[in-house]
Amino acid sequence: MYRVLVTDKVHPKGLEMLKEKGFEVVVDLDAYKPEVLKERIKGFDVIIVRSRTKVTREVIESADKLKVIARAGSGLDNIDLEAAKEKGIKVVNAPDALKVSVAELVIAMMIVVARRAHYSYRALLEGKWEKVMGTEIMGKTLGVIGFGRIGREVAKRAKALGMDVIAYDVFDLSEMAKEMGVRFTQDLDEVLKNADIITLHVPLTPETRNMINKEAIEKMKDGVIIINAARGEVMDYKALLEGLKSGKVRAAALDVYPEEPPRSEWLMELIRHPNVFATAHIGAQTQEAQERTSVEVAKRIMEALGIS
Ligand code: NAD
């Protein structure tokens, strides 16, 4: 019998599927801290995590029976993939399950900040009746940085809303873009210079860390809107704060942060900025995405262990 440790909140449906196949499933939401996890993980064949649990090299090296690390979600930046590979531990995830939920949040954020609806709401809470002026998104150019699963879902919806879309990716995805009526480029500057609204959808890797920095912001159009629902670290948020203060950046909508939950004073200053709309990493927080993710990840665990 395989033993499964679950250290983050995962929808029960996939866990039930595993139990039906004879897995022993232990949910321990207090075990997510690396110093606790490196002891707790002993004796388990599988660990299921979301983004909160950091499966570090130390955790992986102290595991004695681990065969599969399952990420109930898409980003794998909280797992030391190299350490897992060295020990022959398989890593599985559910990359397709939450793309629609994240894309829908991005579209919502884009309209909220373009119309300054977040500002109007804040003012109302303070008893102020402010008729804020916004802009439409129809006819505007959306720059999609990272034309993967989520980037493409965002692009599809933006096209339906009458936007022009220009997408950038390291891989040549021009054929796919053409079919969708999206302009494709492998020159990042082309997106930075031409987009009215920029949305980030790259994974966090050594190449993408701080990819949108001060120099990149300087190349953008004056009054640009920036959305980040990828990973906080792909953008230099100190540079973003400067951009908001100078007016170079008209508004920003953020779902992810270099520190989660955000605590540093400078980061809170960014979040409190009147032209920022911020959410607490809720991109995948829908009933549908969570259920789909848990089912998909359960299937992948069984595949990895050769169980049909
Ligand atoms: P994906 O792998 O399907 O797509 C990522 C794309 O980025 C790929 O096309 C890849 O070629 C491209 N890319 C990689 N490195 C690049 C680089 N240096 N320059 C340009 N392009 C590069 O991933 P996805 O499922 O679309 O997820 C995208 C991001 O969304 C990830 O950062 C993921 O962690 C994040 N995410 C956030 C939430 C949330 O709750 N906010 C939920 C799920 C995923």
51-76 pLDDT, tens digit each: 999 999 999 999 999 999 999 999 89
Q: Assign 210 a pLDDT band (cuts: 50, 70, 90).
A: very high
For residue 230, the 8-state DSSP code is S
Tell whether 138 and 210 lie within a shared domain: yes
Q: Which amino acid is at 275?
A: N
Predicted structure pTM score = 0.94
Q: Is the pLDDT of residue 182 over 90?
A: yes
Decide whether any atom of ligand 1 lies within 6 Å of the 257 Cβ. no
Among residues 40, 50, 201, 231, the one annotated as catalytic is 231
CA 203 to ligand 1: nearest atom: 32
> pLDDT category, 291, cuts 50, 70, 90?
very high
**At 262, phi and psi to the nearest 5?**
-70, 135
Q: Specify whether 87 is located in the same domain as 140.
A: no
Q: Are residues 222 and 86 both part of a single domain?
A: no
**Residue of the nearest CA to atom 19 in ligand 1?**
170
CB 125 within 8 A of CB 293: no
Task: Give the domain range for residue 20.
Answer: 3-94+287-304
- Judge if 34 and 172 occupy the same domain: no
Based on the domain organization, do 175 and 295 belong to the same domain? no
Band of the pLDDT at 308, cuts 50, 70, 90?
confident
Q: Whose CA is nearest to atom 21 of ligand 1?
A: 169
Residue 146 CB–ligand 1 contact under 6 Å = yes
- Neighbour-count burial of 23, counting CB atoms closer than 10 A to its CB (0-12 exposed, 13-18 middle, 19+ buried): buried
Give nearest CA residue, ligand 1 atom 38.
Answer: 283
| Residues 297, 251 share a domain | no
Instruction: State the Cα–Cα distance between residues 299 and 270, nearest whole angstrom.
Output: 40
Q: Looking at the 3D structure of the chain, how many domains does it have?
A: 2
Name the band, by pLDDT with cuts 50, 70 and 90, for residue 112: very high
**Do 171 and 155 share a domain, yes or no?**
yes
44 and 159 in a single domain? The answer is no
The answer on 292 and 220 residing in a single domain is no
User: Same domain for 45 and 144?
Assistant: no
Whichever domain contains 299, its CATH number is 3.40.50.720
Categorize the per-residue pLDDT at 93 as very low, low, confident or very high, splitting at 50, 70 and 90: very high
Provide the pLDDT for residue 261.
96
For residues 190 and 210, state if they share a domain.
yes
Ligand 1 centre from 204 Cα, in Å? 7
The CA distances from residue 177 to 65, 143, 146, 159, 193, in Å, are 44, 13, 12, 12, 19
pLDDT in tens, 218-233: 999 999 999 999 999 9
Pairwise CA distance, residues 59 & 213, whole Å? 32
Whether 90 and 106 share a structural domain? no
Buried b (16+ CB within 10 A) or exposed e, 247-271: ebbbbbbbbbbbeeebeeeebeebb
Known active-site residue 175: no
